[in-house]
Chain A
């Protein structure tokens, strides 16, 4: 970036020629934004670089920005850990199934709510938005899940938080704005039922909103941690985030390693944290360009008063 020197003295010319003041202002803007950019980017680069450096280089603090003595030892350790692999598989399962359930349920409520001729939609809308404002709390919810015998089952991660109120509002706003009433009237005259109209006309016309819903729910499910913490007991059901917690935060390394190589083991355990962070974020990272686009889109739809 071409940055004009700005420190301290604001030129007296500012009062005479405004463009000079503006130019100073603009350069300050660029400097600040560049600083923000570095502040956000640096930790991310540091972690990725460390993850592909050698255990010794990381443990002795030699990595500053770029990888030192490139090695994939950290990744090898990650992928040879059964606990992580099981968690990874579970998380993929929860993310796929949970997202499917959530998207279907959200569309099932949002579409009827978007129709003017659907009697009772205002009451139903209030019924839903109220849950946005008030909640029963942790223990009462836990007791419901327990009463339904969902504790320590996969359903406990798929059902209790299946619908986000905000996503219902976004989907409803989208349907309202992009499915013309005339289209529905025409279909009705042709004897098309509501369900068929939804499946063969509305859904194909609603790809952007379906993408928004899918990505929002998928990211939330992939990153979810709390429900697993309170509802799951069996380790073979644990999603990745719970495994991550025991390895990254509680410093519990699952695999059995040779005790004679104590130092090497510690170095490797330390390095593995970096690799694990990268591996755990990989699905989101790969999809990030889509995620960013559709999250922004969802937020913009949501901010329209509908």
Chain B
């Protein structure tokens, strides 16, 4: 994940004087003209499907009229943002998005770390491999299949969980039809699906811990728990910080698919989040400008969060994305 950084070190050399700069450019172009041709299709992809949409986001400040196109439609200033902030549903959307996201973070951030620390203690390589192979597997289940598995297991009548609850003398619960249970169902199924996947990065970090630290811990008579606290955890901290930065930066951009598929009229009260709202307003109701404004608001918040968390992290721990 660290690889997101762009190295600035060569830049300073290249920019020493502007004359050298152009000379180098020309030389490189002549030498690598084939590579410059090669780069055109992917660059075109980024322009068409990434940058053009960014430009199209001006739609948020315009009243979209199909006949006039995006650029010909009249400007309306911040009308749609005013509409958004004055919308009584706005705060529910923010609250639902944030609560779900933070709940998810609180569960899916520490649990893979714990799994990695536990796995690191196992001495039987076979057992370790088996646990890894099996816990990793659910990650590859598609969202549609995942949601149907959830529905099968939580079904009010035949669902396994309710059968078990009944056997224990408790009443059946309609887990998916209850707004208070929606978040837990979402988050804990996410834990089931992604823990094995997320723990790989920490296992790699643990494998990279300097063996002499373990030797030293042993000489000092550290117990296993002490070794975890004083050697393992500092060893995985940089990776954990990077993952945390990325997760916080993505707090407002929860996956649309799973939430949308799990939605039903009964749980909408807590399951309507920004991205599902944008989809409904924009594509189902064809209210393009308003939906663009909501989406833009969301993207900007995300960017601010990411930059802020990164800056804080760089100051306090020297771990950062760039």
Contact = CB atoms under 8 A, between A and B. Distances in A.
Nearest to B54: A136
The majority secondary structure among interface residues of chain A is helix
A25 B119 CA distance: 13
Interface residues of B, number: 101
A137 B53 contact: yes
Nearest to B227: A22
Interface residues of A, number: 98
A181 interface: no
B134 interface: yes
A136 B50 contact: yes
A76 interface: no
Interface stretch (B55-63, B100-108, B178-186): B55-63
Nearest to B143: A225
Contacts of B29: 119
A39 B192 contact: yes
Given A122-B7, A144-B53, A280 B145 contact: yes
Interface string B25-50: 10111011011101101110110111
The majority secondary structure among interface residues of chain B is helix
Interface stretch (A77-85, A108-116, A204-212): A108-116
A16 interface: no
B87 interface: no
A147 B288 CA distance: 14
Interface stretch (B88-96, B265-273, B275-283): B275-283
Contact of A302 (B1, B10, B51, B59): B1
B150 to A, nearest CB: 10
Interface in A234-259: 241, 244-245, 248-249
B144 A136 contact: no
A119 B34 CA distance: 13
Given A159-B49, A245-B261, A140 B148 contact: no
Interface of A: 1, 18, 21-22, 25-26, 29-30, 32-33, 36-37, 39-41, 43-44, 46-47, 59, 61, 105-106, 108-109, 111-112, 115-120, 122, 124-129, 131-145, 148, 159-163, 169-170, 173, 193-195, 198, 219, 222-223, 225-226, 230, 241, 244-245, 248-249, 270, 273-274, 277, 280-281, 284, 288, 291-292, 295-296, 299-300, 302-306
Given A137-B296, A230-B279, 5 more contacts: A41-B134, A112-B36, A198-B38, A277-B148, A284-B140
